[in-house]
């Protein structure tokens, strides 16, 4: 007996089946996806997967969809879409922080281990409004992205459940 040939569509169906488990409700899977997206878009300094797994475990939602959904935030999407949108389009217009009054390159050139604490203090004092604008913007963008992810995942799960129910009913009619 020859082994089944693995096609792209078969692999895609398998991946989608693993992403949207049968035994979970649509709301649980959608919440898991939203959680994964929300954590991934926030500036988590490289620990998004760990935080996503931990949050999914604590929220008692499936970890698979959350971990896969967290890959929506790759470095290109973070640095070219999410973060610029969060800072320039949302954070700055909302908070309107004062213009920066320091020369970053001069600060870096003058930086030593002795004056590092003073440099960080000056940087925080001068850039605090911009950091807060960025964090507020990313929080808003992460929440909107997570809400959209929730809606898409919920609709996908419901459509999948309806198709499965219709197929089951068709098989039962065929038996009669």
Q: Taking 80 as the threshold, does the pLDDT of residue 101 lie above it?
A: no
pLDDT at res. 160: 86
pLDDT given for residue 1 in this prediction = 52
- CA Rg value for the chain: 23
Single pTM value for the model = 0.81
Domain boundaries, the chain: 24-175
User: In which residue are the tokens 């997967």 written?
Assistant: 49
Task: Give the C-alpha separation, 134 to 59, whole Å.
Answer: 27
Burial class (CB in 10 A: 0-12, 13-18, 19+), 13: exposed
Q: Does the pLDDT at position 40 exceed 80?
A: yes
Q: What is the mean pLDDT of residues 94-114?
A: 85
CB distance 53 to 69 below 8 Å:
no
From CA 113, how far away is CA 110, in angstroms rounded? 10
State how far the Cα of 88 lies from the Cα of 94, in Å rounded to an integer. 10
Q: 26-41 vs 116-175: helix axis angle to the nearest 10?
A: 160
Q: Among candidates 91, 101, 174, which has minimal Cα distance to 139?
A: 91
Q: How confident is the model at residue 4 (pLDDT cuts 50, 70, 90)?
A: low
- Per-residue pLDDT band for 10 (boundaries 50, 70, 90) equals confident
pLDDT of residue 3: 60
Identity of the highest mean pLDDT range in 9-18, 110-119, 129-138: 129-138
The average confidence (pLDDT) of the chain is: 89
SS3 47: coil
């Amino acid at each position: 007996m020859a082994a089944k040939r693995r096609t792209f569509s078969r692999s895609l169906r398998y991946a989608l089946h693993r992403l949207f488990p049968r035994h979970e409700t649509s709301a649980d899977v959608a919440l898991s996806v939203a959680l994964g997206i929300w954590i991934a878009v926030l500036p988590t300094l490289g620990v998004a997967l760990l935080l996503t797994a931990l949050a999914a475990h604590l929220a008692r939602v499936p970890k698979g969809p959350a971990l896969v959904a967290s890959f929506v935030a790759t470095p290109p999407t973070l640095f070219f879409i999410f973060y610029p949108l969060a800072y320039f389009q949302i954070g700055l217009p909302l908070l309107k922080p004062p213009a920066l009054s320091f020369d970053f390159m001069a600060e870096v050139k003058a930086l030593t281990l002795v004056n590092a604490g003073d440099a960080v203090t000056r940087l925080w004092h001068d850039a605090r409004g911009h950091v807060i604008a960025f964090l507020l913007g990313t929080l808003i963008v992460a929440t909107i992205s997570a809400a959209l992810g929730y809606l898409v995942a919920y609709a996908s799960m419901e459509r999948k459940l309806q198709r499965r129910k219709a197929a089951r009913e068709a098989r039962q009619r065929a038996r009669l």
